[in-house]
């Protein structure tokens, strides 16, 4: 075969993990197996992976404009983070200290999401844009190459649409998939009449549909009912939006069934989703997106919704949620849920590390859930999420030689180099300007 010319060849790879699998994600027993090569190499042309193989195959087959020596280290697909609340203002670190210590005196700090809403409504675009760009750099430095980003801290027409426009204006190598989450929680001014707020969200949909790819609804005892979410979801679908759902986080609101009914791309959180709810999701092709970072950060501080109202959760956390979703046959993905309250981490590495310990998942499961399955939940499984010829060259070179070490060695950034679409965007663990 004639030699080809590649833009980039990455060689001297210790372990090459492809995360290869079907475009709609990996489920069942297959998720426990990971395709790896020892001593591999890969070639990139036009921002796309041209070939993956042994070092010998690639060096015999390709001349390269640029060669990168992986130094015997691990090479994987870029990480895909399928759920974030990227654009907002303010920090709620003060209320978290009162919550974890149980100290008296934090009463005026208990506003939760509504505090963030107040700051976000008052914030200048430039300040929020600067913060979001800095956050994106940090995410890229930790290996994220594709991100879903939601609104949800406006909870009024003007600010919700402003957040969507701001998201669209972010120029960054990470591809951002925008989602409209007008129905995050009822805003303070509509706590007595949530149906009226649902009407307002439905009014926002035509303008939101110009800027967003998905519409998210929060089907949860502290969010909206199954019927309210269905009203919003059906209108959103009629306008061409895909559907994502914040589902059953503080109690079973039948979010799993609602997601299946709407043909949602994903149902996220799912802590209280029943076995039948997960089965409905699996049958409808709705992925389950889980947040071990929220479990770690909040534990019993995510209140459970009981007949008497919100109360401390009976179970401090729900380690079995991932196993229940997998056993039902769902495509399961992991995400940071990056947000100013329940999970302020930007790092998919931290997410993968906490997933192992808290959800008792194996390394292969975690890698598939953070790459191909996350891409599949965003309708991107055909063009990213794995290192296979024809896919986007979203590639991470790590500082460690084996994939299990990324999950075992928690607490430091183990990324060395990141390529997005074949372009180097991170070197020595830092985003390039």
- DSSP H/E element including 69: strand 62-69
Nearer to Zn ion, 40 or 82 (CB): 82
Nearer to Zn ion, 136 or 217 (CB): 217
Nearer to Zn ion, 151 or 417 (CB): 151
> What character string, x for contact with Zn ion (CB under 5 A) and - otherwise, covers 6-45?
----------------------------------------
Nearer to Zn ion, 337 or 416 (CB): 337
Other Cβ atoms less than 10 A from the Cβ of 360: the count is 12
Other Cβ atoms less than 10 A from the Cβ of 150: the count is 30
Minimum Å gap between C-beta 234 and Zn ion is 22
- The conformation of residue 422, written as its DSSP 8-state character, comes to T
Nearer to Zn ion, 304 or 405 (CB): 304
Minimum Å gap between C-beta 223 and Zn ion is 10
Minimum Å gap between C-beta 17 and Zn ion is 28
Other Cβ atoms less than 10 A from the Cβ of 56: the count is 10
Nearer to Zn ion, 261 or 337 (CB): 337
Minimum Å gap between C-beta 404 and Zn ion is 29
Q: By beta-carbon distance, which residue lies closest to Zn ion?
A: 337
Minimum Å gap between C-beta 181 and Zn ion is 8
> Which residues are within 8 A (CB) of 139 and not within 5 positions of it... i.e. 6 or more apart?
81, 147, 174, 338, 346, 347, 348
Residues 277, 257 contacting (CB under 8 angstroms): yes
Which residues inside 309-348 make contact with Zn ion, applying CB under 5 A?
337
Q: How far apart are CA 133 and CA 122, in angstroms?
A: 19
Q: How far apart are CA 327 and CA 28, in angstroms?
A: 7
Minimum Å gap between C-beta 370 and Zn ion is 17
Nearer to Zn ion, 8 or 289 (CB): 289
Torsion angle of alpha carbons 79, 332, 267, 342, nearest 10°? -60
> What character string, x for contact with Zn ion (CB under 5 A) and - otherwise, covers 254-273?
--------------------
Packing angle, helices 363-370 and 348-359, rounded to 10: 140
Minimum Å gap between C-beta 112 and Zn ion is 13
Minimum Å gap between C-beta 84 and Zn ion is 8
Nearer to Zn ion, 272 or 363 (CB): 272
Nearer to Zn ion, 338 or 419 (CB): 338
Nearer to Zn ion, 136 or 393 (CB): 136
273-303 CB burial, b ≥16 within 10 A, e <16: bbeebbbbbbebebbbbbbbbbbbbbeeebb
Closest residue by Cα to residue 152 from 86, 70, 74, 101: 86
Token pair of 387, please? 């290192």
Let me know how long the chain is: 433
Q: How far apart are CA 32 and CA 36, in angstroms?
A: 13
Long-range contacts of 424-427 (CB under 8 A, 24+ apart): 425/140, 425/173, 426/140, 426/141
Token pair of 254, please? 């039948």
Minimum Å gap between C-beta 429 and Zn ion is 27
Considering CB under 5 A, how many residues would be counted as binding Zn ion? 1
Minimum Å gap between C-beta 231 and Zn ion is 21
Residues in contact with Zn ion by the rule CB under 5 A: 337
């Amino acid at each position: 075969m004639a030699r080809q010319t590649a833009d980039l060849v990455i060689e001297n790879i210790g372990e090459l993990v492809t995360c290869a699998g079907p475009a709609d994600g990996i489920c069942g027993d297959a998720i426990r197996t990971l395709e790896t090569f020892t001593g591999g190499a890969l070639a990139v042309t036009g921002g796309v992976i041209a070939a993956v193989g042994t070092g010998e195959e690639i060096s015999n087959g390709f001349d390269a404009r640029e060669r990168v020596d992986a130094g015997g280290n691990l090479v994987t697909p870029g990480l895909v983070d399928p759920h974030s609340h990227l654009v907002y203002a303010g920090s709620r670190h003060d209320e978290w200290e009162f919550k974890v210590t149980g100290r008296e005196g934090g009463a005026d700090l208990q506003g939760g999401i509504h505090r963030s809403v107040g700051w976000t409504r008052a914030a200048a675009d430039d300040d929020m844009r600067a913060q979001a760009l800095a956050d994106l750099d940090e995410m890229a430095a930790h290996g994220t190459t594709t991100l879903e980003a939601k609104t949800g801290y406006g909870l009024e027409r003007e600010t919700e649409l402003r957040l969507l426009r701001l998201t669209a204006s972010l120029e960054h190598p990470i591809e951002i998939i925008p989602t409209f989450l007008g129905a995050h929680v009822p805003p303070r001014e509509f706590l007595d009449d949530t149906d009226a707020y649902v009407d307002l969200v439905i009014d926002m949909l035509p303008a939101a549909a110009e800027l967003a790819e998905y519409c998210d609804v929060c089907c949860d005892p502290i969010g909206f009912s199954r019927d309210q979410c269905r009203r919003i979801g059906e209108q959103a679908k009629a306008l061409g939006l895909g559907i994502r759902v914040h589902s059953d986080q503080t109690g079973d609101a039948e979010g799993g069934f609602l997601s299946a009914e709407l043909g949602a791309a994903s149902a996220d959180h799912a802590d209280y989703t029943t076995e039948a709810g997960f089965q409905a999701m699996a049958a409808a092709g709705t992925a389950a997106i889980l947040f071990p970072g929220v479990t770690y950060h909040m534990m019993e501080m995510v209140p459970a919704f009981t007949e008497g109202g919100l109360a401390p959760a009976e179970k401090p956390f729900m380690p079995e949620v991932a196993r229940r979703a997998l056993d039902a046959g769902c495509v399961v993905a992991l995400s940071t849920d990056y947000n100013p309250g329940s999970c302020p981490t930007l790092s998919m590495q931290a997410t993968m590390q906490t997933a192992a310990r808290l959800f008792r998942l194996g390394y292969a499961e975690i890698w598939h859930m953070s790459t191909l399955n996350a891409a599949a939940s965003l309708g991107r499984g055909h063009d990213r999420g794995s290192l296979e010829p024809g896919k986007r060259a979203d590639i991470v070179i790590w500082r460690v030689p084996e994939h299990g070490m990324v999950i075992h060695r928690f607490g430091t950034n183990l990324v060395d180099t990141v390529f997005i679409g074949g372009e180097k965007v991170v070197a020595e663990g830092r985003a390039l300007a």
